[in-house]
């Protein structure tokens, strides 16, 4: 036996509730349905009937949010890549700067320190490793966005050649 059609006033109330709470946790189909004692399918049908977009709006919001996140992450990678070059420069500069050497030890476990003109050979090697690693990481970060831009250009070219459109 088919259920009787929901009254127009109740349909409007459901639509108003769905429109007002759309995009929030309270606007979830299951919550709207529970508040009006109807099924989720009924809420979905009413939202469609009243032009309250579920799929189109949600997809557009998700697409825009994804684009914003991608752009934010690209900016963060660019800033991080710049910091890597700065750290590489600092490490290379430190090879030629005076440094403090120190030691704990002896029977009294005393602390001794003194200034030397340049870091020890082992410390110079470590500074070179730090600089090289920072430059490599800069290159990787820089290449990441260059590859993404190149791939996007290829996608545009392919769409132009094939006549494909975004779906």
**Mean pLDDT over each residue of the chain, to the nearest integer:** 86
Contact 36, 14 (CB under 8 A): yes
Residue 131: pLDDT band by 50, 70, 90 thresholds? very high
C-alpha angle 136/94/83, rounded to 5°? 40
pTM tops 0.85: no
Instruction: Say which residue, 142 or 119, is predicted with more confidence.
Output: 119
**Structure confidence at residue 63 as a pLDDT band (50, 70, 90):** confident
Q: Which helix (H) or strand (E) holds 111?
A: strand 110-116
């Amino acid at each position: 036996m088919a259920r009787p059609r929901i009254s127009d006033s109740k349909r409007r109330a459901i639509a108003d509730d769905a429109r007002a709470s759309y995009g929030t946790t309270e606007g979830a189909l299951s919550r709207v349905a529970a508040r009006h004692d109807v099924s989720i399918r009924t809420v979905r049908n009413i939202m469609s009937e009243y032009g309250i977009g579920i799929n189109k709006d949600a997809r557009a919001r998700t697409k825009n949010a994804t684009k914003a996140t991608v752009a934010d992450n690209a900016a963060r990678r660019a800033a991080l890549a710049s910091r890597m070059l700065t750290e590489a420069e600092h490490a290379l500069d430190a090879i030629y700067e005076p440094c403090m050497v120190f030691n704990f030890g002896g029977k009294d476990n005393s602390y001794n320190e003194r200034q030397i003109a340049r870091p020890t050979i082992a410390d110079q090697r470590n500074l070179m490793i730090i600089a090289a690693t920072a430059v490599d990481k800069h290159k990787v970060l820089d290449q990441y966005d260059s590859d993404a831009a190149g791939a996007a250009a290829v996608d545009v070219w392919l769409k132009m050649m094939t006549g494909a459109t975004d779906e």
